[in-house]
Structure 1
């Protein structure tokens, strides 16, 4: 999912390539989107590249190639990417005489309680989490067998484009390894914990936000420890 600014920029680049055969300059992009500086364009370009819509080609001026377009611009729907995608678990609906805030008995019977370990930052890393705050009931479909699970309350908005909002409760399967693209709880320098998308490249690990307002943070691989992978999400309205 793209933000309005990202979509506006992609559309502007696409139209200019179709018209002139070459993408616009960064100054032209800045003026077209009415931004104050080219740094904002750099962030939008990086976000579009990370999401696979464009590719920057090395050693060439105005070296931007459009790889795909979103459905709103006539593009083909993308195949699901590896990693977490929020999903709704359907359950029995309450009858007209049943209060909406009371779960049906069959849902309650299949729920499991897991510990809520406190808050996790979806933004700048916060202090590491190591205590049980309370417990939360989770639908059994959300928890895989053969693993320990815990929950964390999200603070911050850096993962909003992955469908994770401030105040959500995320369900984490405990583990020490992750694949590129997984959303993980990462412990940075044994002091701070954060929720980010994981990328391991050589001897470094990048922790990537899902919000162009936040920079991707890169650390030496020995400074980051995976604490678990995201497997579910609970939102209260």
Structure 2
């Protein structure tokens, strides 16, 4: 048997998933159950997990899956014929936290900055592999649709094909976001802005640190 609050919470989560496909936030659950703190929500969710009613999806924020529902023994409305049970949709718009490693130049190279911040990214924007994010600084990639202040989503990899947009570490000190091309015995890093010139380096000077897979943009 579930407690009244546990029963209310599992019903609230299940109804929200059925309506939107997204599990409610802890703040929404706290307000819906008229609890004083989010710690009460955490305790209820843990109890429902232990009893096999809920499951948390790993590496995703606000992602809960209802495994089974208790019988609703105290309906708030007069009994009526129930529609056939429908499958619970997979949570949509799941969010993944990826490392945010400072700012990267989309103009001339700047010093590579390592940070400990994270950025919340819709899982649909990420494919396979390990990802991180960089804040774009500069305007040399505007013709590729990459603007100052955008967040570049990067998949970690050490190789690149001609024409791919990559994070290139130059002389182990400076990082830049550019098109990657081979030009004879040299590596050429091309901007996407005719106001900037290509940059040419010996292969030993350039180390690929990842490939651009997506962008996030804020609108103030």
> What is the TM-score when the length of structure 2 is the normalising length?
0.57
**Could you tell me whether the CA contact under 8 Å between 1:185 and 1:226 is conserved in 2?**
yes
> Structure 2 matches for 1:139-218, cutoff 5 A?
139-145=122-128, 147-218=129-200
| CA distance in structure 1 between the aligned counterparts of 2:133 and 2:139, rounded to whole angstroms | 18
> What is the TM-score when the length of structure 1 is the normalising length?
0.53
Find the counterpart in structure 2 of residue 226 from structure 1.
208
Shift of 1:107: 4.1
Tell me the C-alpha RMSD between the 2 structures: 2.1
* Local SS of the residue matching 2:143: helix
- Structure 2 stretches of 5 or more lacking a match? 1-19, 21-61, 64-90
**Could you tell me whether the CA contact under 8 Å between 1:107 and 1:139 is conserved in 2?**
no
If you compute each CA radius of gyration, which structure gives the higher value, 1 or 2?
2
| CA distance in structure 1 between the aligned counterparts of 2:148 and 2:100, rounded to whole angstroms | 16
Identify the match of residue 125 of structure 1 among 105, 109, 112.
109
| CA distance in structure 2 between the aligned counterparts of 1:138 and 1:168, rounded to whole angstroms | 13
**Could you tell me whether the CA contact under 8 Å between 1:149 and 1:174 is conserved in 2?**
yes
- Structure 1 stretches of 5 or more lacking a match? 1-93, 95-103
| CA distance in structure 2 between the aligned counterparts of 1:131 and 1:206, rounded to whole angstroms | 28
* Local SS of the residue matching 1:141: helix
Identify the match of residue 136 of structure 1 among 97, 119, 122.
119
Shift of 1:154: 0.3
Shift of 1:114: 0.2
Identify the match of residue 96 of structure 2 among 93, 96, 112.
112
Give the ranges of 4+ consecutive aligned residues of structure 1 lying more than 2 Å apart after TM superposition.
104-108, 129-132
Shift of 1:211: 0.2
